[in-house]
Amino acid sequence: MKDAVETPPDRTLARIPEVGSAPIGSDAERHLFELWESPPGWRGWLSTVDHKEIGLRYLVTSFIFLLIGGVEALIMRVQLAGPDRHLLTPEQYNQLFTMHGITMIFLYALPVLSGFSNYLWPLMLGSRDMAFPRLNALSYWLFLFAGLFLYASFPLGEGANAGWFNYVPLSGPEYNTGPNIDVYALGMVLLGISTTVGAVNFIVTLFRMRAPGMSIDKVPILVWGTLTASVANLFAVPSVSLAFFLLWLDRQSGTHFFDPLDGGKPMLWQHLFWMFGHPWVYVIVLPAMGIVSDALPTFCRRPLVGYAAVALSTMATMLLGFGVWIHHMFATGLPALAISFFGATSLAISIPSAVAVFAWIATIWLGRPVFRTPFLFFAGFVLLFVMGGLSGVMTAAVPLDLQLNDTYFVVAHLHYVLLGINVFPVVGGVYYWFPKFCGRMMNETLGKWSFWVLFIGFNLGFFPMHVAGLLGMPRRIYTYAPNMGWNTVNLITSIGSFVFAAGILIFLANIAFSLKRGALAPQNPWDAPTLEWAMPSPPPPYNFAVIPLIASRHPLWEDRLASTEDRSNLQAGYLLMDGRETLGTTALDAVPDVILKMPDDTYAPFFLALFGSLGFAGLLLDWNRFTLLMAAAVGLSLAAWMWPRQKLVQRVPGVKRATEAGRG
């Protein structure tokens, strides 16, 4: 990962003692622009490693997958709107609800949050890019190709068909002989590689790429949420990747990891899958909670109440999240003692989540709320978070879970957690940071319309599922008899689903309108406190012409808060112009430590992801020679990536004495 390389040993950091509105002069800014700008046209599109471009691509691609998953859901709701409907065959319905789950959980929920974090992290942390820009590009290309891979067989009627949870033996070779499950298994391994390299990038970025003075207790909560999710991914993703790889071996090579007739264990699949599956719930929730924790205080005109408690509760939630996976398996006949421990942990995990809820409510209560569109989405999220959390506590109680297991009550809980707690912060975050992304404001009237239509449609669509579950409607059925008592609740759910879809369309129409005709955004349109609003919108390719000096969590509100601490200095910092450079700082206190040479744009991540994905396709189709050829192409792409440019980074003399660095 040749991303950081050495500066000449006689160099020291250039300190800019004082600057004005044009801090380093137009010539110097032009030089930085030329250094960091990607080539125009298709060459730049394929080769860029700019975190902002990659973040926007994550956002756009994940929203496309959201639309695809939404269309699949609407087709299912037409099928279930009334009894004895036969719009779909059982096999078509199996493929549709499986691909809907795969799309929404794996191809939308986390990638959309990765888009926010990829775009915003360096801006919030005072850096010019992520720690490993080429890994960043690779993670996106792998995500895109994995999504295309997972959908490759679906139009041919051979899509994954055993549910997103893919339980064996139904997904094993005895009961499912087509390519459906093989596509799912290899696609998930490919997607796991993307998630893992992205997680490594986020972790290193936090600990080594913060602006001077931004100690670990000054980073935004969004950073804490994404960091916690990234650390969890390093432990959770290998579990599910192993499960899918073992299943693929069972299906293709005659092994028997999950075959009880030959000593295999079907329950092994559930353990491996849910060791990943339940932490994944928090992986796609904690960064969304971070969006709310950082943006909500802007509209309350006060800092977040209980910053330290919220940061600690974020980490505690994920730690406990690794101890609750068996609550998905209460009905499988496990020993009562084990179930009791996991049931207790499943109840206890509500405590750190409640800490965040009370912090948000206290921030609103003690603040002076401004009812703009983003605030509505964040406030609506708090209500949906409480509703989804309460139903989660209910299913954590073992006796109740045994009654609700495999009913539509669980489907309702799943959607409140995975859709309500993810989509509302995401849409609110788009409204909030759209000026930063595009330099224009979104239409406020359309924004409020989209909120109310989405909020009403969501609750109209998913709350009746609780009632259907209590009436005994099982999950994963494609039709039902007219005398079951489920007709009305299913019709209401289907109507609500279309209302929710209308809200999404209003939101997308607002984006399209605002891109063309939205009012030009000032630099800080919301009067926000965090560092990303200290630069033009959209930011230049190099982010910060001068790396700023940070002294508080709210560098743009220090005068308002009458802080008695040292003040941040956004106009005097470190100037780095000898090629693509940024500043490396120490892990905890963010003391200037090294000058990092950042990589230029390259096609290597694109071709590495392309050839790797084609190699997986060769495995799927049993094209051995083609697979070997793609493996060789992957090796050549890695060689191009790793081809040495300069020596590895070394510490620069005098860099820690930031106040004296300008003398050099």
Q: How confident is the model at residue 657 (pLDDT cuts 50, 70, 90)?
A: very low
The residue-averaged pLDDT of 108-129 equals 95
**Residue 657 token pair:** 């004495």
Amino acid 568: pLDDT: 84
| Bridge partners (DSSP) listed for residue 474 | 407
> What are the phi and psi torsion angles at 54 (to 5°)?
-65, -40
Amino acid 565: pLDDT: 66
Query: CA 188 to CA 237: how far, in whole Å?
Result: 10
Residue 646, pLDDT above cutoff 80: no
Residue 572, pLDDT above cutoff 80: no
CA 181 remoteness from chain centre = 25
Sheet containing 547-549: which strands, arranged edge to edge?
14-15, 569-575, 547-549
Q: How confident is the model at residue 24 (pLDDT cuts 50, 70, 90)?
A: low
Amino acid 563: pLDDT: 64
What are 328-366's pLDDT values in tens digits? 899 888 888 889 899 899 899 999 999 999 999 999 999
Of residues 360, 412, 367, the one with CA closest to residue 383? 360
pTM for the model stands at 0.92
Task: Break the chain into its structural domains and give their ranges.
Answer: 19-42+528-600, 43-517, 604-642
Q: Which residue type is seen at 36?
A: W
For residues 313 and 389, the answer to whether their CB atoms sit within 8 Å is no
For residue 522, is the peptide bond before it cis, meaning its omega torsion is within 30 degrees of 0?
Answer: no
For residues 290 and 224, the answer to whether their CB atoms sit within 8 Å is yes
Of residues 453, 421, 457, 438, the one with CA closest to residue 511? 438
Amino acid 392: pLDDT: 87
What are 232-263's pLDDT values in tens digits? 999 999 999 999 999 999 999 989 999 988 88
- Quote the Cα angle for 91-174-248, to 5°: 90
Q: How confident is the model at residue 567 (pLDDT cuts 50, 70, 90)?
A: confident
The residue-averaged pLDDT of 120-136 equals 95
The residue-averaged pLDDT of 151-155 equals 91
- How far, CA to CA in Å, does 439 sit from each of 21, 535, 641? 19, 11, 34
Q: Output the furthest CA–CA distance in the chain (Å, rounded).
A: 85
Residue 193, pLDDT above cutoff 90: yes
Residue 25, pLDDT above cutoff 80: no
> What are the phi and psi torsion angles at 280 (to 5°)?
-60, -30
Cβ-proximal residues to 601 (8 Å cutoff; 6+ apart), any chain: 38, 39, 44, 47, 48, 49
Range with the poorest average pLDDT among 115-119, 388-392, 513-517: 388-392
Query: CA 135 to CA 358: how far, in whole Å?
Result: 38
The residue assigned the tokens 């750190």 is 352
| Three-class HEC string of 348-400 | HCHHHHHHHHHHHHHHHHHCCCCCCHHHHHHHHHHHHHHHHHHHHHHHHCHHH
What percentage of the chain has pLDDT greater than the value 90? Answer: 73
Q: Residue 440 carries which DSSP code?
A: B
Query: CA 133 to CA 115: how far, in whole Å?
Result: 14
Query: CA 164 to CA 245: how far, in whole Å?
Result: 16
Roughly what angle, to the nearest 10 degrees, separates helices 444-470 and 408-415? 160
Of the two residues 610 and 595, the one the predictor is more confident about is: 610
**Residue 275 token pair:** 């060791």
For residues 575 and 592, the answer to whether their CB atoms sit within 8 Å is no
- The fold of the 43-517 domain, in CATH, is Cytochrome C Oxidase; Chain A (1.20.210)
Query: CA 418 to CA 285: how far, in whole Å?
Result: 7
Rg (CA), the chain: 25
Query: CA 331 to CA 403: how far, in whole Å?
Result: 9
Q: Residue 40 carries which DSSP code?
A: S
Amino acid 653: pLDDT: 43
Q: What CA dihedral angle connects 150, 156, 157 and 161, to 10 degrees? A: -10
The residue-averaged pLDDT of 95-118 equals 95
The residue-averaged pLDDT of 411-419 equals 91
What are 492-505's pLDDT values in tens digits? 999 999 999 999 99
The residue assigned the tokens 């694109």 is 606
Reported as half-sphere exposure (CB side, CA atoms, 13 A), residue 406 has a value of: 10
Indicate the burial class of 17 (C-beta count within 10 angstroms; 0-12, 13-18, 19 or more).
exposed
3-state secondary structure of 544: coil
Residue 13, pLDDT above cutoff 60: no
DSSP line for 172-223: STTT--SSHHHHHHHHHHHHHHHHHHHHHHHHHHHHH-PPTT--GGGS-HHH
**Residue 33 token pair:** 């622009």
Amino acid 644: pLDDT: 77
Residue 554, pLDDT above cutoff 80: yes
Query: CA 518 to CA 370: how far, in whole Å?
Result: 21
CA 432 remoteness from chain centre = 17
E strand spans, 551-637 = 569-575, 581-585, 592-597
